[in-house]
Chains A and B, each alone.
Chain A
Amino acid sequence: MNEAAVSDGLIKKKLWALGIVVLFAIVSISTYAYNEYYIYLSAYLWFGFIYGMCLQYGRFCFASAFRDLFAVGVPRMVVGIMIAVILFALVSAFVTATGISTFHSSPYGIHSVIAGFIFGIGMVFAGGCASGSLYKTGEGSGTALLVILSISVTQSSFVDVGGWINKLVPAAWHESAMAKGLPDRINVGDGWIDQYLAGYVWDQPITTFAEALNFTKETFFGAYVGNVLIGVFLPAVLLLAVVYLIWGKKRHLKEVIGQKINQMSFRENFGGFWQMIRSSKRTAIAGLILGIACGLQMFVIEGLRIKYGIRNAGEILQRIGSDFGLSVRGTVFDPGYWYVTTQEAQWVGWLMQKLGWDNTDNIFFGYINGIPNPALNPADWMSLALIGGAAVMALLNNEFKFKKPQKDLIKWALIGGALMGIGSRLGLGCNVGGFFVRVANGDPAGWLFGLGMIGGAFIGVKFFNWWTERQLAKEFAALEI
């Protein structure tokens, strides 16, 4: 009878999985039948769905990866992510070389490192990075949902905060921002993030590795030698070598009985390195499919833009009949590839506006991304579908379970989410938009964000260990009394 109950449970989960897919299919078909332009939103939906399935399958979470590495010395997930970056880069280079990439590099500088550092601390506190929290929400984790809420609320508030916080803005930033000639409606002189962006970040250099080496990036040579080989493969292999020497070697030594560390030959070390690489097959496969999907998404979005003669989804929304929440330039957030945190800020920003907060007088909402209705926001369709894709994968693998947030974890979820929100806005992206996609497309800003993220994760793990030991010591002391 127990076996029958288990079997019934599994069948129900599979049917739920199918139900979610059918729901998305109905949404796509019915909206397309209502208005052809909805196909643009459906493009975001289906690729988001694939991302969710891949993330859940590969347990793709930067926070888990670095926590495992720094806390218990297990490099598997970090290795998997690095391999995924390389594989993604190979696909991205093809898209770049054909000239159809929708990717745009970001300004790079010390701010990228600082932003990544804050984000890294936050993701360890939260127990999941931005993309990891999305897929874990799809698995039924209430704590992960809290993290997403915290990221969203923090971002949408942070980009609009002005008043007293303007005193923390350097005068040079203020002057530079005012000189940018932005529309009066944006009120760029009021708001820390506005002056940070317009007065500092926008003045920083933008490049790719191919361009820095004087290659034309829209050529196969430029994309593969400049961006992939020099910009991705060599730094990734160097990072993996460091991971092996510090953590992987010890684990490999356990399998080589009676050998001392200084007696391992180069061949034995290479064998250990290769074994470390091979141990992350699942995450690497997920990374490869993510890369292919992201490349295809760029292709599809660019094709649709050419078909409809548009540069941004804001024009699509106007044609659908909705111009609410567009930026002053008539644009909405429309990256054309995988992104996570910006649309999370948008849906909360939209809600805040509905509740009476005027938050369109800043660069983030008012000038660049807009705050369209989430039901019509292409990037929000992508995020919702990502959660759905992760849920489907979890249901099929019998890994789905509704889990209420544990009391102890709630405060860390909120604090971690807030730090991730701040780091995302400072770095113009999260572990996906700020690191993964940028690095794979040869943007040095990605590596700078990543280095900061690694440093922040290290500090976050050490702090967490110290905090946990302190709490345990208090509890033991209380028991003794």
Chain B
Amino acid sequence: MKHMFGIIIVIITLFVGFLLGYSIPPFIHAGVFSSERAEKGVEVKIDENLEKFYEDLYKDKEDEE
């Protein structure tokens, strides 16, 4: 019984390990494990230039009006 149980545990571990391996890189890319990240959860890093571009777009509309 113990051998069979061990075989089954190995199979489960392989699959769960594969799933974990699939999931870790996205967290790394998102900067979750980075020391710079504040403990606020997964955030999208917004490009500052892009953010200013959209702010200026809004201002342009106001000027036109």
Query: What residues of B have a CB within 8 angstroms of the CB of A97 in the complex?
Result: 39
B20 A21 Cβ-Cβ under 8 A: no
A428 at interface (Cβ–Cβ under 8 A)? no
Residue from B8, B11, B19, B25 in contact with A300 in the complex, judged by beta carbons closer than 8 Å: B19
Residue from B15, B22, B29 in contact with A25 in the complex, judged by beta carbons closer than 8 Å: B15
CA distance in complex: A307, B23 (Å): 7
Cβ proximity bits A16-58 to B, threshold 8 Å, 1 near / 0 not: 0110011001001000000000010011001101100000000
Q: A14-B4, A21-B11 are in contact. Are A39 and B22 (CB under 8 A)?
A: yes
Q: Is the interface of A mostly helix, strand, loop or mixed?
A: helix
CA distance in complex: A304, B19 (Å): 9
Q: A303-B27, A304-B23, A307-B23 are in contact. Are A99 and B11 (CB under 8 A)?
A: no
A17 B22 Cβ-Cβ under 8 A: no
Query: What residues of A have a CB within 8 angstroms of the CB of B24 in the complex?
Result: 303
CA distance in complex: A21, B16 (Å): 13
* Minimum CB distance partner of A15 in chain B: B4
A396 at interface (Cβ–Cβ under 8 A)? yes
Query: What residues of A have a CB within 8 angstroms of the CB of B16 in the complex?
Result: 46-47, 50, 296
A18 B4 Cβ-Cβ under 8 A: yes
How many chain A residues touch the partner (CB < 8 A)? 34
Q: A17-B4, A18-B4, A396-B5 are in contact. Are A99 and B39 (CB under 8 A)?
A: yes
A98 at interface (Cβ–Cβ under 8 A)? yes
Query: What residues of B have a CB within 8 angstroms of the CB of A50 in the complex?
Result: 12, 16
Cβ proximity bits B12-40 to A, threshold 8 Å, 1 near / 0 not: 10011001101111110110100000011
Q: A25-B15, A46-B15 are in contact. Are A396 and B4 (CB under 8 A)?
A: yes
Q: A218-B40, A306-B30 are in contact. Are A18 and B8 (CB under 8 A)?
A: yes
B15 A303 Cβ-Cβ under 8 A: no
A473 shortest CB reach to chain B, Å: 46
* Minimum CB distance partner of A392 in chain B: B8
CA distance in complex: A28, B16 (Å): 11
Cβ proximity bits A208-228 to B, threshold 8 Å, 1 near / 0 not: 000000001011100000000
B47 shortest CB reach to chain A, Å: 17
* Minimum CB distance partner of B14 in chain A: A25
8 A Cβ contacts from A284-318 to B:
296, 299-300, 302-304, 306-307
Residue from B4, B15, B39 in contact with A28 in the complex, judged by beta carbons closer than 8 Å: B15
CA distance in complex: A118, B15 (Å): 39
A241 at interface (Cβ–Cβ under 8 A)? no
B29 shortest CB reach to chain A, Å: 8
A29 shortest CB reach to chain B, Å: 9
CA distance in complex: A481, B19 (Å): 68
A338 shortest CB reach to chain B, Å: 15
CA distance in complex: A42, B23 (Å): 13
A169 at interface (Cβ–Cβ under 8 A)? no
Query: What residues of A have a CB within 8 angstroms of the CB of B25 in the complex?
Result: 307
A352 at interface (Cβ–Cβ under 8 A)? no
Q: A98-B32, A100-B32, A100-B42 are in contact. Are A302 and B23 (CB under 8 A)?
A: yes
A304 B20 Cβ-Cβ under 8 A: no
Q: A14-B1, A396-B5 are in contact. Are A46 and B39 (CB under 8 A)?
A: no
CA distance in complex: A42, B42 (Å): 23
A267 shortest CB reach to chain B, Å: 40
B27 A306 Cβ-Cβ under 8 A: yes
* Minimum CB distance partner of B15 in chain A: A46
Query: What residues of A have a CB within 8 angstroms of the CB of B32 in the complex?
Result: 98-100
CA distance in complex: A39, B21 (Å): 12
Query: What residues of B have a CB within 8 angstroms of the CB of A100 in the complex?
Result: 27, 32, 41-42
CA distance in complex: A39, B15 (Å): 10
24 A-B pairs in the complex with CB atoms less than 8 angstroms apart: A14-B1, A17-B4, A18-B8, A21-B12, A22-B11, A28-B15, A42-B15, A46-B19, A50-B12, A98-B39, A99-B32, A99-B39, A99-B41, A100-B32, A218-B39, A218-B40, A296-B20, A299-B23, A303-B22, A303-B27, A306-B27, A306-B29, A307-B25, A396-B5
